[in-house]
């Protein structure tokens, strides 16, 4: 079965069973509070972390967060909580 067909089946099941898309399709859930906090669930690892840039591995691609004064408040196997001044959040599709 092709990758697109597999994604389509997941989409149909998500809609039919009313399961949240982030759970069924292995998508990250990103919650931001203003420009001060970012909470990322369902990631696949932390690739790099500095006080100005964070790179997070996702199931498909990466997330790049740019800003300043970043502090890691919590890091769990599939969850991150970062504080600082968030200026940009970019999704990098690989």
Domain spans of the chain, in order of start: 27-92
pLDDT at 24: 52
Widest Cα–Cα separation across the chain: 46
Tell me the whole-structure pTM to 2 decimals: 0.73
Find out if CATH 3.30.70.260 is the number for domain 27-92: no
Q: Which helix (H) or strand (E) element contains residue 4?
A: helix 3-17
Q: How far is CA 25 from the centre of its chain?
A: 13
Q: How far is it, in rounded angstroms, from Cα 21 to Cα 71?
A: 29
* Residue-level pLDDT, tens digit, the chain, 94 residues: 566 776 676 666 666 666 555 555 578 999 999 999 999 999 999 999 999 999 999 988 999 999 999 999 999 988 999 999 999 999 998 7
* φ/ψ of residue 25, rounded to 5: -100, 10
Three-point CA angle 52, 54, 55, nearest 5°: 145
pLDDT at 61: 93
């Amino acid at each position: 079965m092709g990758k697109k067909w597999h994604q389509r089946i997941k989409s149909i099941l998500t809609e039919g069973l009313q399961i949240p898309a982030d759970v069924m399709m292995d998508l990250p859930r990103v919650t931001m509070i203003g420009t001060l906090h970012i909470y990322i669930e369902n990631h696949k690892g932390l690739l790099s972390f500095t006080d100005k840039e964070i790179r997070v591995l996702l199931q498909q691609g990466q997330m790049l967060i740019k800003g300043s004064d970043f502090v890691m408040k919590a890091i769990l196997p599939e969850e991150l909580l970062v504080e600082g001044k968030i200026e940009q959040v970019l999704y990098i599709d690989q």
